Amino acid sequence: MSASIHWRPVSETKNTLDVAAPSAFRDAIRECFGELPVQLDEKAIPILRGMAAMCRSARGNPYSDLIDAIQHCGAIEVWATY
């Protein structure tokens, strides 16, 4: 089953993250940060940088997108909808 992955600054409206393989992305986030939904802040950036370095997606790098969101908004929440 395919999932859509979303993020938002804590207590704001959601944004959809462009993820080529939502299940693999969800599994990677779960392995590093715990079950979705999860809140990520500046402390997550070093791990996300490592994940971004390993990303081979032709559609862009969702881990870099999360880093950008954290740097711009502060703490964010990430979750999936089905």
pLDDT at 5: 87
- Ranges of each domain in the chain: 4-81
Q: What is the per-residue pLDDT across 54-69, written as a single tens digit (0 to 9) for each?
A: 998 878 899 999 999 9
DSSP 4-15: EEEEEETTS--E
User: What's this model's pTM, rounded to 2 decimal places?
Assistant: 0.86
Please tell me the distance from the alpha carbon of residue 68 to that of residue 34, in angstroms, as a whole number: 21
pLDDT at 11: 66
- Residue stretches of the chain with pLDDT short of 50: none
Q: Based on the number of CB atoms within 10 Å of its own CB, is 73 exposed (0-12), middle (13-18) or buried (19 or more)?
A: middle
CB 58 within 8 A of CB 20: yes
pLDDT at 60: 87
